[in-house]
A = this chain, B = another copy of it.
């Protein structure tokens, strides 16, 4: 039986001087939030308030509680924590019983010897780890290069420097009659045709046990009173990702010594296969082929449509099931089948994977390494190994889990790691040992895969639309398209009046509107917006225009990556969500959960089947030739019948002009079809500002709103366009 605890919190400058003063603490939680509540610190999400939290990084934090174990029903008593962030000692009645470094370890402290007394529990949290190994820029993410804490907490281009500490995951007293803590284990293997599943189960308790297994429809399919047994299942319903089938989950229940445990199993096979065309390596002297990145689920090559998942809160301890569910439901509803749990962020809490299991969202899980050279000191290797084993144990039991990845962009110059890193070789080795059926890749991107860019107009002055259709990559595991956030989101940062005109100042920079990445403007894209539309007259108009560009860009890239299938096998935008109110960011959903218009454009681009137009650029002038290729994009698992696409072009509010009726043939499952290239000379329509390509074909229909420019003779320039 689990018992909650009431905690108090204080701090001091070292681990031996206990605090003079304590105040109430929320567990799970973060010391910063408790302090802020007690001392009325302003909300860290607004203005530059996060800076007032900085000093807390370097303190020792003392949690304390008492538990009265008189009148206990069980004969065993444990203090259990699913995660303490980050380095800590646990003192029982003033004596240290447990010390650890690492936030992913499940802590179990046996207190049975103290049953019948009032037990004092102190958890001492050490200051934020700050590496001095390697070329460290102080106060930057480099300081995370010897830790498994999320690098993002140390500051990123969408996250302020604010490093949580505290008891961050479920923590409680366990009273039990069992001889030890029960660890039920349910595993399975599938035969090569996936027509038989062998389910193996066991629990480390030999008392009277009762197991029950249920089919996805709730039917009881097997029961056993052995603590260790197995059964074979004919034609198991497989776990499928969104768009490819049902995310079938079998459930199990174990009753042992009056305690009940539940769990679920999703049957699947997963592998990384060579992308079609990548075996070709043209001339001598000959190098190797690109590594495989086509995700094969249950024998079907899935086109991965996904998004990069970053923790939805700076203080990740506060994320609960509802918070995960509201955002993951949005992922599913955008016709996505995948999230990349990016290595700069935390490895999520259990609820995250449970929901992904349920919604059919495949999970690429990175270990907590990102954009640093994680130098393989013996201490770091030992820490990483410990944490990795806990992560592997927890994540890999989920049906949704399909790929391990060592971390983010580790083989690029800004990180400086290579395959020779002992840390990455260790992760390869541990995952091989524990989960040989789940692919492991050391980092993203690998050769042939690509990250970026993150702008509508690239540094070189080209539109993403142009660059992406001339790129040829096996997977786009990051591509960004920024916009200013929704007005409701912006209001969390500062008063609206402070944001128009949107200028570069401490607050707008801190919230990533300016200079978050490489250029003066970038996520805000104010110059890009002005380039296409001229000056904006209000914040609302500026936001609307920027969000229009984001939507166009994301939709184009998702569709373009799909057009490049099967050489290309993944389109995963950067990023889905954000951890605090950014003034501007590449996210589809802004903090805490405001949906940007681009979200809906992505949802359109990711329908299983659609008619798609590959146009050449955003803005067209009267008299120019509008040119676009017609495609049917088909990720469907069933063949589709040929139909007719009625293609028309509409300028401004004019009547659409019919261009062609294009009949595409019957298509086999999971196969695109490339149609004709159409050209249409754009007429002069004074005053019109938009140009629509309309592909009309029932549920496969698509409509693209581009920009049109036909200056009247009197007013040829600097025209403000309204979209």
Contacts and interface: CB of A to CB of B under 8 A. Distances in A.
Interface in A271-327: 271-272, 274, 279-281, 283-292
Contacts of A468: 285
A426 interface: yes
Interface in A437-458: 439-441, 443, 445-453, 458
Contact of A287 (B287, B422, B436, B450): B450
A286 B418 contact: no
Contacts of A538: none
A696 interface: no
Nearest to A444: B288
Contacts of A290: 447
A476 interface: yes
Nearest to A455: B284
B271 A420 contact: yes
Contact of A285 (B412, B439, B452): B452
A441 B428 contact: no
A410 to B, nearest CB: 9
A690 interface: no
Contact of A447 (B413, B422, B441, B447): B447
A452 B441 CA distance: 28
A13 to B, nearest CB: 33
A638 interface: no
Q: Is the interface of A mostly helix, strand, loop or mixed?
A: loop
B284 A453 contact: yes
Contacts of A440: 420, 425
A285 B450 contact: yes
A285 B480 CA distance: 10
Contacts of A460: 283
Given A420-B271, A439-B420, A288 B428 contact: no
A446 B412 CA distance: 16
B284 A413 contact: no
Contact of A425 (B280, B413, B428, B447): B428
A49 interface: no
A449 B418 CA distance: 15
A267 interface: no
Contacts of A65: none
A447 B479 contact: no
Interface in A251-273: 271-272
A6 interface: no
A497 interface: no
B288 A412 contact: yes
A449 B419 CA distance: 15
Nearest to A422: B436
B479 A285 contact: yes
A281 B413 contact: yes
Contact of A288 (B279, B422, B446, B458): B446
A70 interface: no
A75 interface: no
B413 A285 contact: no
Given A272-B418, A274-B418, A420-B271, A287 B429 contact: no
Nearest to A439: B420
Contacts of A422: 432, 436
Contacts of A450: 284-287
A421 B316 CA distance: 36
Interface in A394-444: 411-413, 416, 418-420, 422, 425-426, 428-429, 432-433, 436, 439-441, 443
Contact of A453 (B285, B413, B426): B285
B452 A418 contact: no
B445 A287 contact: yes
A158 B204 CA distance: 58
Interface in A464-480: 467-468, 471, 473, 476, 479
B412 A289 contact: yes
A432 B443 contact: no
22 contacts: A272-B418, A274-B416, A279-B412, A279-B413, A284-B452, A285-B471, A285-B476, A286-B451, A286-B452, A287-B449, A287-B450, A288-B443, A288-B445, A288-B446, A288-B447, A288-B449, A289-B412, A291-B418, A420-B439, A425-B436, A429-B429, A429-B433
Interface of A: 271-272, 274, 279-281, 283-292, 411-413, 416, 418-420, 422, 425-426, 428-429, 432-433, 436, 439-441, 443, 445-453, 458-460, 467-468, 471, 473, 476, 479
Which 6 residue pairs of A and B lie closest in terms of their CB atoms, listed nearest first?
A285-B450, A284-B453, A429-B429, A279-B413, A288-B411, A284-B452
